[in-house]
Amino acid sequence: MSETTAKEERLTIYADYVCPFCYLGRQSLAQFQATREDPLELDWHPFDLRSDKRGPDGEIDHSVPDGKDEEYFEQARENVRRLQEEYGVEMTQEIATAVDSLPAQAASLYVKERHPERWQEFDEAIYAALWRDGRDIGDRDVLAEVAEEVGLDPEEVLDASEDDELRERLEERFSEARERGVTGVPTFAYDGYAARGAVPPEQLERLVEGA
């Protein structure tokens, strides 16, 4: 482990809110963090799983083929159910293909930059709203409710979620992730090493403590 990284204790997470494995990966991470004496700083990087299905206006075109058929989604559901049991996590849905995470990701980037002390709580609340409560985080009213739940100004967050300049910077973050070789989420990176998927707490421990 390098001296600089040891001081920073920072784990980078590439994730998309509509990915059930990102939610499950965060639950695994929480279990790992609970075993640590020192806090682990999280550096969130957004990733857009729907980038190949977005039109010029940013809207998702569900008619665009992506190679994911019903067999793929059934296997994904089975994996979600297995990890739910393994990590002791309750979820109201296993897949959220109809939900667009772009507004939530733009809002999250804004909160991370302008209200960093509130970001982790906001991030966790978005995941909980979608996967625990079954709410559509792409809906303005839901996003406003989530912001208010964690003490943020709902109108400020909604304005940020629709800001064109902020969305352009979000797209830059998506491109940067792909340039760094990130092809799927969640991806956990630490000190030059990485683990992909909703890996168990023990693997996250090896990634961080063994780096």
Q: Identify the CATH number of the domain in which residue 205 sits.
A: 3.40.30.10
Domain, as residue range, for 69: 10-209
Identify whether 1 is part of a domain. Answer: no
pLDDT in tens, 115-147: 999 999 999 999 999 999 999 999 999 999 999
Could you tell me which residues come within 8 angstroms of residue 189 by beta carbon, excluding any fewer than 6 positions away? Answer: 11, 12, 13, 14
pTM: 0.92
Which tokens sit at 165? Answer: 């300049």
Within a 10 A sphere around the Cβ of 42, how many other Cβ atoms? 16
Q: Is 5 domain-assigned?
A: no
Asked if residue 4 belongs to a domain, the reply is no
Give dist(CA 93, CA 17) in Å, integer.
13
Total residues found in the chain within this entry: 211
The count of other CB atoms within 10 Å of the CB of residue 53 is 15
Q: What is the pLDDT of residue 39?
A: 83
- Tell me what pLDDT residue 57 has: 82
- Dist. CA 6–CA 90, nearest whole Å: 34
Sheet holding 187-190, edge to edge: 41-46, 10-15, 187-190, 193-196
Q: 20-33 vs 116-127: helix axis angle to the nearest 10?
A: 120
Q: How far is CA 127 from CA 16, 25, 37, 64, in A?
A: 10, 11, 25, 26
d(CA 53, CA 160): 23
- The tally of domains found in the chain comes to 1
Distance CA 95, CA 72 (A): 11
In a domain, 3, yes or no: no
Distances (CA, A) of 164 to 72, 76, 103: 34, 33, 11
Distance, in Å, from the CA atom of 147 to the CA atom of 137, rounded to the nearest integer, reads 11
CA 198 to the chain's CA centroid: 11
Low-confidence ranges of the chain (pLDDT < 50): 1-7
Token pair, residue 19, equals: 């990915």
Q: What are phi and psi of 10, to 5 degrees?
A: -115, 125
